[in-house]
């Protein structure tokens, strides 16, 4: 049965049975069960990862429903990570989902990330993005940072397992970070799912043992013009995070 379930991955020559076995051994941690985190979690659990940890301290709200595809009207008021886990269990009960209902501060992030292989930051604020960058760098994990506002997707992929590649802080210094939130600027509903699905695809490639071209890059997709930009991330020689965890 399991073989049937994942056969479309196994058919892919880049993945094959070995890649799918690696996916089945990969533990993923998603920060945020919102517009980006929900679709990413869905794709990863559908794809049979070893386990998923999902963290969100917020409760489901009516205005979330057009984008946050794991939540339902019946679950308004329920914690988002808990609501997501219910939906994920229905889709694939073979994948254990750990629910984290607390706000993930830096210490908690480090604690949760330690037991995972790939971290997807689907949070909605720069404070958490920088904290997850520091945790991933300190623990030498893979970090995929995905966000969406208006008609725009941003995806940055960092592989800290080897060497000392550019980090999130190198590209987006914490001091001059202007927090642009979809909750204030608006976002076209499918754009959040595109961001989440892009993050999930890159996570699955890395889990399968591939080295996607996105590693060490920032991908920007503008869905109004459908222009796609990929730029290589450069290390900042003065980056305090890179200096600390070199």
**Cβ of residue 191: shortest distance to Zn ion, in angstroms?**
28
Comparing CB distances to Zn ion, the nearer of 38 and 215 is 215
Minimum gap (Å) between residue 242 Cβ and Zn ion: 3
One DSSP character per residue, 153-197 reads: EEEEEEE-SSS----HHHHS-STT-----HHHH-B-HHHHHHHHH
Determine the Cα–Cα distance for residues 80 and 100; give it in Å rounded to an integer: 10
Residues near Zn ion (CB under 5 A): 167, 169-170, 239, 241-242
Q: Closer to Zn ion by CB, 47 or 171: give it.
A: 171
Provide, rounded to whole angstroms, the least separation between the CB of residue 139 and Zn ion. 15
**Toward Zn ion, which CB reaches closer, 49 or 239?**
239
Q: How far is the CB of 137 from Zn ion (least distance, A)?
A: 7
Rounded-to-integer distance, Cα 58 and Cα 32, Å: 9
Measured from the CB atom, the residue of 147 and 169 that comes closer to Zn ion is 169
The sign of the torsion formed by the CA atoms of 176, 63, 93, 1 equals negative
Residues 6+ apart with CB under 8 A from 90: none
DSSP state at residue 70: T
């Amino acid at each position: 049965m399991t073989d049937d379930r994942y056969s479309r991955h196994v058919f892919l020559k880049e993945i094959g049975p070995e890649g799918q076995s690696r996916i089945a051994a990969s533990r993923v941690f998603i920060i945020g069960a919102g517009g980006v985190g929900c679709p990413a979690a869905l794709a990863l659990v559908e794809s049979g990862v070893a386990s998923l940890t999902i963290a969100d301290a917020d409760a489901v709200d009516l205005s979330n429903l057009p984008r946050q595809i794991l939540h339902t009207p019946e679950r308004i008021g329920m914690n988002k990570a808990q609501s997501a886990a219910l939906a994920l269990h229905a889709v694939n009960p073979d994948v254990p989902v750990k629910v984290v209902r607390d706000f993930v501060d830096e210490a908690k992030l480090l604690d949760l990330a330690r037991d995972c292989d790939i971290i997807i930051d689907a949070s909605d604020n720069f404070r958490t993005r920088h904290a997850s960058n520091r945790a991933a760098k300190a623990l030498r994990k893979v970090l995929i940072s995905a966000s969406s506002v208006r008609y725009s997707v941003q995806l940055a992929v960092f592989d800290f397992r080897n060497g000392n590649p550019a980090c999130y802080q190198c590209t987006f210094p914490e001091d001059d970070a202007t927090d642009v939130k979809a909750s204030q600027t608006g976002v076209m509903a499918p754009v959040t799912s595109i961001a989440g699905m892009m993050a999930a695809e890159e996570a699955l490639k890395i889990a399968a043992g591939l080295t996607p071209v996105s590693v060490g890059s920032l991908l920007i997709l503008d869905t109004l013009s459908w222009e796609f930009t990929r730029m290589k991330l450069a290390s900042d020689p003065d980056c305090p995070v890179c200096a600390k965890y070199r």
